[in-house]
C-alpha cells in the first residue's frame, strides 16, 4: 500500500502525506506534534500555516511509529506517539505525563518513562 511505500522511502523523506475524505495534507515531520491512537485509527495533530490542525487516519499508531523518524518521535504510551521537540515539560510521578507546547497533557506509560527521560537527555547533549 501507499503507507508501506512511504515507509520504504523514509530514509529520504522529510514529509508525510495525510489524506482524509476531503483533503490531502503534505506535512513536514517537524510540524507534527503528536499522534493519538483511537482504536484502529490515529488522530494526528500538526501545524499548518501557523494553525494547529488534526486529521484522523485509518492507520494504526504502530504504522506511524514505523514511518516517523525515530530520532524525533517517541512512543510515550500505547496510545501516544509524540514529537519530542514539542514537549515542554515532563511531569514525573505516579501519573507521569508530558505537557506539549499547545498545552495538551499526554500520559506516559509507566514502563516508558525511563526510556523517554534517557531519550530526551541524549537529545539535550546533542543540541547543546
pLDDT tens-place string over residues 9-59: 655 789 999 988 888 999 999 999 999 999 889 999 999 999 999 999 999
The span from the first CA to the last CA of the chain, in angstroms, equals 40
> Which pLDDT belongs to residue 72?
94
Asked whether residue 127 carries a pLDDT value surpassing 60, the answer given is no
Compute the distance between CA of residue 92 and CA of residue 47 in angstroms, rounded to an integer.
27
> Which pLDDT belongs to residue 70?
93
3-state secondary structure of 8: helix
> Which pLDDT belongs to residue 89?
94
Contacts of 105 (CB under 8 A, 6+ apart): 97, 98, 99
3-state secondary structure of 68: coil
Count the Cβ atoms, other than its own, within 10 Å of residue 73.
21
Amino acid at each position: 500500500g501507499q503507507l508501506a511505500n512511504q515507509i520504504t522511502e523514509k530514509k529520504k523523506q522529510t514529509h508525510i502525506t495525510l489524506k482524509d475524505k476531503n483533503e490531502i495534507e503534505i506535512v513536514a515531520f517537524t510540524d507534527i506534534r503528536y499522534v493519538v491512537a483511537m482504536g484502529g485509527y490515529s488522530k494526528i495533530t500538526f501545524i499548518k500555516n501557523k494553525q494547529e490542525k488534526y486529521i484522523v487516519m485509518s492507520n494504526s499508531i504502530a504504522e506511524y511509529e514505523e514511518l516517523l523518524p525515530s530520532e524525533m518521535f517517541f512512543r510515550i504510551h500505547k496510545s501516544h506517539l509524540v514529537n519530542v521537540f514539542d514537549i515542554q515539560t515532563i511531569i514525573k510521578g505516579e501519573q507521569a505525563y508530558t505537557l506539549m507546547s499547545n498545552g495538551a497533557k499526554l500520559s506516559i506509560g509507566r514502563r516508558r518513562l525511563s526510556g523517554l527521560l534517557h531519550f530526551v537527555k541524549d537529545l539535550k547533549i546533542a543540541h547543546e
